[in-house]
Structure 1
Amino acid sequence: MTLHGKKALVIGGAVGIGRAVCQAFAAAGACVGVADRGWSEEKSSIVAELKASGVDAYCDEVDVRDEGSVSKVIQHAISRFGQLDILVNNAGMTSAGAPMHEQDSALWSEIFATNVNGIAFGMKHVLPHMLERGFGRIINTSSQLAHKPVPNHGAYCASKAAVTALTASVAQEVARRGITVNCVCPGMTDTAMLYKGGAAFVEEKLKALPIGRPGTVAEIAATYVFLASDAAAFFIGQSLSPNGGDVMW
């Protein structure tokens, strides 16, 4: 599953799963652009790490809620690398959760603006370049909660279900043009975002999880490398879910 010679942009790549994806892509031979909102020290450190491994890398600032910002970082990646083979739309957010009748409308809107609109903007602005070249790999980050929603997290679950549906829709538009669009639906992963759901939520989920532990970011990142590689050319609109057995089919 080599990515040698490929050029990748990871939006939401400074920390957590996104950071591990940058590391895994570089290990497979890809040049990597790391885009995120804030996380200045983290972006600088991952770029230094990737460069030390011998690959070309750089960082960029992006706010995925702003379509213009997303377009700008994609155009910068194309200009910087000369081409863009792989786009990972990984930026996302969650909340501590609340029953539906107590949901904060502003927070609901922000979750959808980040988790859904941001991914839509990424696909919209990279596709003209990929269609012109007749090649591309787009990988969106959804969640296992798109397939197995939990109570008190309606906004997050709904937003990730939207990502999964959006992925399948766009995949059908471009599959015959050399572009694959798929999503990864991680289960419980040992990142800071997991614990924003609260200790009780984490404890309850771990008790029910067949493997009995959260996944590591490296275990999740391997799925992105596969989907970015030529080995995944027949995967179209799929939801791959490394989740420790939480969802099985």
Structure 2
Amino acid sequence: MTIALSAHPALNPLVDQLADALPIKGLYYPARRNPDTDLPFFSDLPAMLQATSPRVCAFLSPYADLHNDVHTCLQAGVAVLCAGPVPKADQPIASGGIHRGSPLFAKALQQRRDPSFAEPVYLRLVAGVQEPGLLPAWWAVCRQLAFASDLLGETPAQVHLCANRHGRAYQVVLTATAPSGAAIQLVVAPQSALAELTLLGRGGVISASAAQSGITLANSKGTHVVPDAATPPAELAWLRDFLEKENSPSEHSGDSGQALLSGLRRALRTRQPVLVNL
């Protein structure tokens, strides 16, 4: 089985990890410079499809012409998997769900389901974006909202967005209230190493960050640390799951994803918080 990838050069370390574990035969991105990778690189998608004959093409980065490239793959009979929603997509596409392969998500969900944790009250997630530009920031927001929804087991009907930028670096803050009343705060920043989670429940607190080892659970019985072990990237489990399930979509965030993108653009233009209905 042959796999092709599309990824921004900033994701080269991730691409190399995936290539070590999966039969990835080609890398595509509409860039002027070749990325620093051992994989055959193509700046022309049809050329890569012809040279590698992939069964699947996984798009790990968004860009302006992504919807046309997705259409090209589908027309060629190549299955498509995207790390986030596709702008202007005119048909359902398997997208999102990477967080479900994350050890952090799995451990946090296990701890949240502990009866002693009780009802969630407040969730805060902070994530860094490795790639510059609005579209990668948008995908990061979509990914964090999906993480929050799956962790809480519910999705807010509307969110408030604040956003600002410096050059091609974007900062985004999303706040919302879940149907149960739990408060949600998601932060996306251009510092790629950022990764923080805080979940406050009526019976305790779950916390984790890139600066600490493992997930901390504090409750009336004391503080317990669930150790973290070296694990492969979540994208690896995400790709394998897609292949094993014969290309069934992991999730489809078409309408809500487009609403978030429109909201981000309005927030940047007005420099004011904006309300987005999902």
Bigger fraction of residues in strand: 2
Bigger fraction of residues in helix: 1
Q: TM-score, normalised by structure 2?
A: 0.36
Q: TM-score, normalised by structure 1?
A: 0.39
